[in-house]
Copies of this chain bind each other. A is one copy, B any other.
């Protein structure tokens, strides 16, 4: 069978040096383990809860950083976008263009991104919405294929489903349901452990601690048959400018990826 593939990097770009440190380390680990590797980082966090939150370097500066990473480390790039107008410039740099979960049904965005990406030989990483059943991703995949006259460039990504308030759950049976559509499926273990919103009963304290769940979800999903993993790291998550509580320290990457490879092998 195919080796497990790894889309991993930063939640959001901060500066070039951080991206270099992260890409170098992750590429090295994946090369040693024989796992295909794609560097991921966002240039804009367009839907932060608060208007005051750090959003990233933005489109122009962000793509420049990604271009440098791609050249220096010879790695494919994955990044996400938020408006149809960003499709062309993003697809110019990114090999895998990601459509955020909240925007997965916005027809104009999906069609423009699919076309810009396909025309350059790239792939789409389509996140399943938190409020979508696994089988309903068929509509997402169909929309892309119909926009491309039949071509199939979708990778589906599981990132958890709404489970009551301020919580997500990953339904491991959903991975196989999505694979029935004939597309590869990844597990975004980082976002799947987020506790959405800020529970006022705990003044937000409840969002801490789930970082420990990332390896659990990643290992379980690979055992359940996921084709790839999506993971976000930071050399120092407690100083990360976005989503630190669900981000793993970079120095845990090697142990985790080694375990994931072993489970992937054991399952086969």
**Which positions in A face B, CB cutoff 8 Å?**
46-52, 55, 82-83, 102-103, 105-108, 111, 129-136, 138-139, 142-143, 146-147, 161-167, 169-173, 175-176, 193, 196-202, 205-206, 210, 212-213, 216-217, 219-225, 259, 262-263, 265-267
Contact call B48/A107, Cβ cutoff below 8 A: yes
8 Å CB contact of A199 from B111, B135, B173, B176: B135
Bound together, the chains give a CA A212 to CA B102 distance in angstroms of: 29
> In the assembled complex, which residues on chain B have CB atoms less than 8 Å from the CB atom of A206?
201
Contact call A143/B51, Cβ cutoff below 8 A: yes
> In the assembled complex, which residues on chain B have CB atoms less than 8 Å from the CB atom of A220?
172, 220-221, 223-224
> In the assembled complex, which residues on chain B have CB atoms less than 8 Å from the CB atom of A263?
223, 263, 266-267
> In the assembled complex, which residues on chain B have CB atoms less than 8 Å from the CB atom of A167?
164-165
Contact call B165/A162, Cβ cutoff below 8 A: no
Bound together, the chains give a CA A49 to CA B47 distance in angstroms of: 22
> In the assembled complex, which residues on chain B have CB atoms less than 8 Å from the CB atom of A143?
49-51
Q: How far is the CB of A241 from chain B (nearest CB, A)?
A: 15
Query: Residue on B with the closest CB to A197?
Result: B136
